[in-house]
A = this chain, B = another copy of it.
Amino acid sequence: MKAYQELSKKELLLLKAELEDAYKEAKGRGLKLDMSRGKPGASQLDLVEDMMDTLNSASDMRTEDGIDVRNYGLMDGIPEAKRLMGEMIGVPAENVIVCGNASLSIMYDSISRSVTHGVMGSTPWCKLDKVKFLCPAPGYDRHFAITRHFGIEMITVPMTPQGPDMDMIEKMTAEDASIKGIWCVPKYSNPQGYTYSRETVERFARLKPAARDFRIYWDNAYAVHPLYEDRDDYLPEILGLCEAAGNPDLVYEFCSTSKISFAGAGIAAVAASKANLDEIRKSMTIQTIGYDKVNQLRHVRYFKDINGIREHMRQQAQQVRPKFQAVLGVLERELAGLEIGQWTNPNGGYFISFDALEGCAKAIVARCKEAGVVLTGAGATFPYGVDPRDSNIRIAPSFPTPEEMTMAAELFALCVKLVSVEKLLEKCANAA
């Protein structure tokens, strides 16, 4: 295949006509597919179907230390769930609080609490003129939505395959005390699937932010989500590194089983130093009498321990992997060598990140939508929903079947080609 950039105007016009015909035909097929969100597919949920049998009326409903999970109490989680979630991210149970079904809510609460009450005695952020967050991007749109909701100024930090630009992060946090946090998805990052390198994590642990109330918001959402049996990226455990670096309170880590058991009915946890957890518990005492401990017990009785989770995730990967491979296969077949896009091929997680020619992402997403395939909105992976290059598109292959994924990816590739040709023709026109 010849790179599109090398085509003459005439060749581009011919190609455009061809692609337009193909697009017209594709539209006629009446596709209705959704690759917009990291939503588990039905087959994935069916894999844990028998979790619904774990607890029944004959079950002993007491925790390992004899507390009835059906009643009030144990505000910060049952001991065995703390242990299970701790094993998942490699931290001791005592550093874990287990909450409800959504780690997003724990993150929201962390920011909200800092806005109204500050962090460990600092000035509440609502009393400050300016609060800023660093946002490695492309990143997770729901993170950015939280900080935006609270009027926190977001500063984009470029991502690399080793993690965010640490030079920039070290410099900015050291110099600007209004920078209060950074959003991170350190393993199989959303959307690129990158895993932070050892050096990156160590540099995070050694940060010396000017703001005492600066925290790293470490969303370890894909800790146990490799796609392939023979390779799982290694992420150093940050709590221990922070402590070793004399920075024990620097990080809040979040995780959940939303993409392990049931997306809508899993359990979520926050891990941090004792001092951080004590402060969180102080707020929690006001906010709740306790989270759903029946569901916590259900998860522990079902998975038992980290080995149970790993075995389950091995089976889950068998469901998810073909969907990734379907997309990657189509992209390779249709776009390789055309130099109109680059994409990631992650070892795990939930997303493939695609970078189109500058100025093409929005148009590609719009074309796909018009033909029945919904992608995450272009720009969503950047703070304020604005991708300065209008280039990044997040592909979420988990929900459709592999066959549907192939069709969706083919349409996507077609739209990439069509929009790229249009963009190149535009350039010709401007040059003329």
- The answer to whether A105 touches B287 (Cβ under 8 A) is yes
- The answer to whether B102 touches A289 (Cβ under 8 A) is yes
- CB of A55 within 8 A of chain B? yes
- The answer to whether B105 touches A295 (Cβ under 8 A) is no
Interface residues of A in 59-113 (CB under 8 A from B): 59, 61, 68-74, 100-102, 104-105, 108, 112
C-alpha gap A414/B263 in the complex (Å): 54
- Minimum CB–CB distance from A420 to chain B (whole Å) comes to 32
- The answer to whether A291 touches B101 (Cβ under 8 A) is yes
- Minimum CB–CB distance from A48 to chain B (whole Å) comes to 8
A286: chain B residues at CB < 8 Å are: 108, 142, 145-146, 149
Q: Give the residue among A53, A100, A150, A286 with the most B Cβ atoms within 10 A.
A: A286
Given contacts A39-B71, A126-B127, A292 and B289 within 8 Å (CB-CB): no
Closest residue on chain B to residue A49 by CB atoms? B57
- Minimum CB–CB distance from A96 to chain B (whole Å) comes to 18
- The answer to whether B50 touches A287 (Cβ under 8 A) is no
- The answer to whether A71 touches B292 (Cβ under 8 A) is no
- The answer to whether A70 touches B287 (Cβ under 8 A) is no
What number of copies of this chain does the assembly contain?
Answer: 2
Interface residues of A in 171-198 (CB under 8 A from B): none
User: Using a Cβ–Cβ cut-off of 8 Å, how many residues does chain A contribute to the interface with B?
Assistant: 57
- CB of A265 within 8 A of chain B? yes
Closest residue on chain B to residue A105 by CB atoms? B288
The contact of A264 among B39, B69, B146, by CB within 8 Å, is: B69
A150: chain B residues at CB < 8 Å are: 116
* Residue interface mask A224-241, B partner, CB < 8 A = 1: 000000000000000000
C-alpha gap A61/B292 in the complex (Å): 19
The contact of A265 among B42, B69, B287, by CB within 8 Å, is: B69
